[in-house]
Amino acid sequence: MFPTFMSLFVATLLTGLALIAWGLLFFRSNAKTRTRALGLLRSQMAAYVLFGLAALWFLSHVAQLGKADFGDYKMILLAIFGLTAAAAFFCTPDFLAVRGLAGLILLSAGPLLGAAYMQYDEPQRLLLVTLVYVLIIAAMFLGTMPYLLRDFFEWLWSQPKRLKVFGGAFMAYGAVLVVTSFTY
C-alpha cells in the first residue's frame, strides 16, 4: 500500500477545504470566470504546470520502485515514461491541462485513500473515501475524453442557477468533510 504521510484528520480537512474553495469559485462565478475557465482548458501554461506536475509526481513513483515492482528496470521505465510525457507536449497538446488535472487527481487519490486505509473504527471516513472514488472515475473519463470538461462547463454556464447548485453542493460536501475531520 501507500506510505501514509497524512493522518485521516489532515486528509479529510484538506479535502473539505479544497471542496469549499472549488465550490465557492463556481458559486460566485461570472462571465469573466467562465472565460478564464474555458481558456484554462487549452492553456499552454496550465498544461505545463498541471501536466508537468503530474508527470514529475508519477516519475517520482517510478523512481522509487522496488525489486518486486520492476525495480531492476526502473531506469528504462523512467526514460520511457519521461520521453512519453515530454512527447505529449508536442504530439497531443490539445486539452493537455485537463489530462494533467486528471493525472493529479489520480495521483492524489493514493495518499488520501492511504490515510483512510484500515481505519475501520472510523466509519465516517467513508465520506472521504466515497468522494475519492467518485473523483477517480471522473478523472479517468476526463483523462480519456478531456473535451467532456469543456462540454460540461458550457452546459454549466448556460444557466446561472446551475452554477449556484453545483458550487453550493461542493461547498456543502466540503463543509461536511471539515466537520467530519474533527470527529476522528
| pLDDT, tens only, 49-97 | 999 999 999 999 999 888 888 878 889 999 999 999 999 988 988 899 9
- Let me know if residue 177 belongs to a domain: yes
Per-residue confidence (pLDDT) for residue 2, from 0 to 100: 47
Q: Are 85 and 59 in contact (CB under 8 A)?
A: yes
- Let me know if residue 67 belongs to a domain: no
Question: pLDDT per residue over 139-170, tens digit each?
Answer: 999 999 999 999 999 999 999 899 999 999 99
What's the chain's average pLDDT? 92
Cell of 117: 486505509
- Let me know if residue 141 belongs to a domain: yes
For 24-31, the CB contacts below 8 A with 24+ separation are 24/167, 24/171, 25/167, 26/156, 26/163, 26/166, 26/167, 26/170, 27/163, 27/164, 27/167, 27/168, 27/171, 28/167, 29/157, 29/163, 29/167
**Angle ∠(119,63,42) on CA atoms, nearest 5:** 85
Query: Which of 7, 27, 35, 25 is closest to 122 using CA atoms?
Result: 7
pTM for this predicted structure = 0.89
Confidence of residue 29 (pLDDT cuts 50, 70, 90): confident
- Let me know if residue 136 belongs to a domain: yes
Query: Structurally, how many domains does the chain consist of?
Result: 1
Cell of 134: 467518485
Domain extent for 169: 8-42+95-181
- Let me know if residue 64 belongs to a domain: no
Cell of 122: 472510523
- Let me know if residue 118 belongs to a domain: yes
- Let me know if residue 76 belongs to a domain: no
Cell of 59: 516519475
**130: Cβ contacts below 8 Å, ≥ 6 apart:** none
- Let me know if residue 47 belongs to a domain: no
